[in-house]
């Protein structure tokens, strides 16, 4: 459809056919359609009036230009949303990295080794050393019972 010459009757007929075939009325879509058609009708009425509007420089203002600009802007946004949808689809195919620390601990638990070393702190190391030294002292200094 040529955006510089939009037939109102054809657009209305196509929309009504769409509404009848879908079987349900979408209020949001209908309100957008009514706004679009009323804008077209306002433009057609301005074109039928014998008075021509002029801008500051004295040039004649085409009443269709505002609608054409909006349609072109809509087309740009539509193309950008298509590109973003493609990028989103590509991104969804990538593997998510997630929480690296959690993944390493899960892998260590599965292999039954290495999980403790990932969560070790200096305090834990000192407590373990203290326990080992206490056990060593208890082994070497066992109480002797002599009868």
Q: Is the dihedral of CA 101, 102, 103, 107 positive or negative?
A: positive
Q: Give the pLDDT of residue 51.
A: 67
Closest to 46 in 3D by CA, of 32, 74, 67? 67
Q: Give the pLDDT of residue 5.
A: 64
pLDDT per residue, tens digit, the chain (147 aa), is 555 566 777 777 887 777 777 767 777 777 777 887 787 777 777 767 666 666 677 677 776 777 778 888 988 999 999 999 999 999 888 877 677 777 777 776 666 655 566 677 888 889 989 999 999 998 888 877 777
Q: Give the pLDDT of residue 58.
A: 67
Who contacts 118 (Cβ-Cβ below 8 Å, separation ≥6)? 101, 104, 105, 108
Q: Give the pLDDT of residue 111.
A: 66
Q: Give the pLDDT of residue 84.
A: 95
Q: Give the pLDDT of residue 131.
A: 94
């Amino acid at each position: 459809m040529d955006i510089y010459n939009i037939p109102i009757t054809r657009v209305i007929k196509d929309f009504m056919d769409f509404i009848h075939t879908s079987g349900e009325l979408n209020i949001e879509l209908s309100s957008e359609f009514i706004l679009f058609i009323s804008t077209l009708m306002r433009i057609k009425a301005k074109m039928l009036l014998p008075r021509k509007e002029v801008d500051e420089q004295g040039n004649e203002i085409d009443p269709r230009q505002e609608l054409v600009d909006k349609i072109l802007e809509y087309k740009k946004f539509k193309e950008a949303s298509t590109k973003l949808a493609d990028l989103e689809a590509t991104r969804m195919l990538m593997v998510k990295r997630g929480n690296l620390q959690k993944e390493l601990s899960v892998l260590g638990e599965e292999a039954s080794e290495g999980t403790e070393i990932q969560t070790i702190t200096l305090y834990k190391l000192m407590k373990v050393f203290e326990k080992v030294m206490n056990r060593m002292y208890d082994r070497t200094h066992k109480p002797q019972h002599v009868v």
